[in-house]
Every structure is written in C-alpha cells, then in structure tokens.
Amino acid sequence: REVDLFGVDCFLLVSRIIIENARITIITTIIILAFVLGLYPVVETSQSASQSKYVAKRIDLCVWWAGETPATLLTNAAPIVSWFKMVPIPGGVFTMGTDDPGVPQDGEGPARKVHVKAFHMDKYEVSNTEFQRFVRATNHVTEAERFGDSFVFEGLLSEKVKSGITQAVAEAPWWLPVKGASWRHPEGPDSNITNRMDHPVLHISWNNAVSYCTWAGKRLPTEAEWEYACRGGLDNRLFPWGNKLLPKDQHYMNIWQGHFPYHNTAEDGYDSTAPVTAYPPNGYGLHNMVGNAWEWTADWWNIHHTVDEVENPTGVPTGKDKVKKGGSYMCHKSYCYRYRCAARSQNTPDSSASNLGFRCVADQLPDRVK
C-alpha cells in the first residue's frame, strides 16, 4: 500500500514514534496538537487559493516528520519526502548545444533544435541529508566505499592524507586517489560531512545515482532534459540566468576565483561546495544547475550530434562514459570553462570524485503529491 503522508499515515507514524521513542514525545505531541487543532480542519474543508499556505505548512510538517524520524519506521515514506522539492518543467523546443563552443573538443556543437516533453526536476542537487535517508533505508554501499578510494581535489586535502599518496593523474595532477574517501568522508578518513548535510552529496558514481533515483521513484535526466532545464526558458544563453558572469555584480554560482589550481579566493562565498539551496534559482526555480557539483545525466557520451530537429533524444545507445553537466566549484575559465548550460564532460559510470553529484527527474508526480 502506498504511504499517505497527507492523511492517516501521518498520524500513525507519529503515534509509533511516541510509543517507541519517549525522548521526543513531548515535541511531537505539541506538533500533533497544532496539526489536529489548527491546520487539519482548514485543509480538509477548503480548496480555496487563500488557504494554500496551510496546505504548504501541512506538507512541511509531514516532510519534517518523515525526514527526521528513525529510518526503520520510514522505509516506505522516506522517498516520498524527496518529491516535495521538485519543480515542473514545461515541455517545449529549445536550442541545444552551441555554434560558439567554449570547449570545442567536448562536442558542444552544433546548435540544434530539440523538443522535450514536460517533466519534473529536483529543485536542488541531492544533498547529504537526502542521500543519508536513502542509505539508512536501503543499506546502499557506494562504489567509492566498495573500491576503498575515490578522487579528491588536492587543494582540499590535509597534509597527513596527502603525504600518504604516491600516484596522481598525469594530465590532471590536482586529482589524487584517496583511500577511504567517500560521500561520508569527502576529503578522506579525517574529514566528515557533519557541517555540510545541506551540501551536494559527492563521490557518487553514475551507478549509485541511478540506484538513488530509482529508489525515490525517479530517474536521471537525459542530457537534453538537463540542458533544457538549465536554460530556464531563455534561448541560447551561456548561463541559466543569461550571458553575464556576474549579473548585478553578484555571484550566481559556485566556481573557482583566483589562480587554478593553487588559490581559490572564494569570492563567491565558497572554496569547496555550497549548500544546494545557495544562489538565486533560474527561471524554472532550479538552483545550482551550473557550478557547485557536476551532475550525472542518463546519456552515454558521444561528441557527434545530428543537426536534425529531434524529439526527446536519449543519446547514443551505448558507450564507455556517461555525460555529466554543469561544471563544479573547481571550474575556472582557464582550465574548465564548463559552467555553461551547453558545456559537457564525461566519466565512466563507476567513477566518483569530490566534485561530482547529481539530481533526479520524474515524468510526473505521484497522485498523492500533486
């Protein structure tokens, strides 16, 4: 049976918590009273627009319960929580790619007309909080954890961790394979995510991202969907908000300022990841489509594209690498001018790194959430 977060299941969940966890009984009782006495009758008896803020409050309440209660009670409810942070992306036709590529060898061109049907997309990159709910509910072990290491940007490592590493990537010496690096320990065993639960989850392979989205009843976006959503309704612009790097003299994304890879001045507020909610959203309400963390897409990598007008393209049928989009906090124009909607890069589906995350999409919301 589907969990009804808006009706009786809300009460059942809270009742069980009261019985099984005396410590938070008082708090939950107060919230239940507020819910029963205040919001519930209003929501049940009114459909008018002026009351919709009560609906929103009630949803927040249930999301809070479902998100913060012990996972054993909530194996079924936890994925539903993630549905509330999606926005509708209207169907339409857009100019995918560019005839003025920033990184020509990446196959950014040619500019081509692509039709995309309507879908819903996560407003934010999947955060550590959300990924932790998934792991608690499923005991999922990421590939970085299974392999025992993952790639970390040298500039973020402690001297202790750095001194233990002998190999590096020849063409990108700032990437070091770090033993014990994973989503829980983004810079190796002596690091943690305690103070960045609202930052994008990192060190997640494409395979792990697919597992998360599937668990949540969602899927990864195709590259076309991702790029269409990135553009936020604007045609043929560099960034989700237009062509200016610093609109209104403000930072709209988390990238690298300073001399890469030596010094990040963090003028945008962050020398590593930012909270997934940071910076203004684009025209569709999406945050951090460019910068912060790279995001996986469903498509296999390929740099040759037809100029024919196509509908809902899903990329080439097979390949070695998957497409990632959006660039990251490490991108600087000198090395990685990839914090643009048309930009793209690739990794094998089992790769993970300290600047690579994801968000999910869905064709439609379940009835309960509409």
Ligand X SMILES: *[C@@H]1O[C@H](CO)[C@@H](O)[C@H](O)[C@H]1NC(C)=O
**Residues that bind ligand X in the complex, under the rule CB under 6 A:** 192, 194-195
CB of 187 to ligand X, least distance (A): 9
Among residues 28 and 354, whose Cβ is nearest to ligand X? 354
CB of 140 to ligand X, least distance (A): 21
Among residues 163 and 195, whose Cβ is nearest to ligand X? 195
Q: What is the CA radius of gyration of the chain?
A: 22
Residue in the block written with tokens 């943690």:
192
DSSP secondary structure of 181-217: -BTTBTTSTT---GGGTTSBP-S--HHHHHHHHHHTT
CB of 142 to ligand X, least distance (A): 19
Instruction: Please state, in angstroms and rounded to a whole number, the distance separating the CA atoms of residues 282 and 241.
Output: 6
CB of 257 to ligand X, least distance (A): 22
CB of 190 to ligand X, least distance (A): 8
Among residues 184 and 322, whose Cβ is nearest to ligand X? 184
Q: Are 353 and 318 a contacting pair, CB within 8 Å?
A: no
CB of 201 to ligand X, least distance (A): 16
In this structure, the chain runs to a length of 370
CB of 192 to ligand X, least distance (A): 4
Instruction: Please state, in angstroms and rounded to a whole number, the distance separating the CA atoms of residues 86 and 68.
Output: 19
Which two tokens mark 243? 């062509």
Instruction: Please state, in angstroms and rounded to a whole number, the distance separating the CA atoms of residues 71 and 76.
Output: 9
Among residues 193 and 216, whose Cβ is nearest to ligand X? 193
CB of 193 to ligand X, least distance (A): 8
Q: Are 142 and 352 a contacting pair, CB within 8 Å?
A: yes
Nearest CA-CA partner of 288 in 183, 193, 200, 186: 200
Among residues 193 and 343, whose Cβ is nearest to ligand X? 193
Residue nearest to ligand X (CB): 192
Among residues 123 and 184, whose Cβ is nearest to ligand X? 184
Q: Are 231 and 240 a contacting pair, CB within 8 Å?
A: yes
Question: Which secondary structure element, helix H or strand E, spans residue 29, and what is its range?
Answer: helix 25-33
Instruction: Tell me what percent of the chain is helix, strand and coil, each rounded to the nearest 5.
Output: 35, 15, 50
Among residues 199 and 305, whose Cβ is nearest to ligand X? 199
Give buried/exposed letters for 308-336 (b at 16+ CB in 10 A, else e). eeeeebebeeeeebbbbbbbbbbbbeeeb
Among residues 187 and 268, whose Cβ is nearest to ligand X? 187
